[in-house]
Amino acid sequence: MPTQEHMKQTLQTYIDAFNAGEAATISGLYTDDAVVEDPVGNPPMTGRAAIEEFYTNAIAGGAKLTLDAPIRGSHGDRAAMAFTVDVPGLRIRAIDVMTFNDEGKITRMQAHWGPDDIES
For the beta carbon of residue 24, count every other beta carbon within 10 angstroms.
11
Query: Nearest to residue 95, comparing CAs of 79, 75, 107, 108?
Result: 79
Length of the chain: 120
- Pick the catalytic residue from 14, 30, 55, 96: 14
Q: Which of 16, 33, 38, 55 is flagged as catalytic?
A: 38
38 is catalytic: yes
Burial of 13 (0-12, 13-18, 19+ CB in 10 A): middle
Give CA–CA dist 24/13, Å, rounded. 12
Active site includes 55?
A: no
- Which are the catalytic amino acids? 14, 38
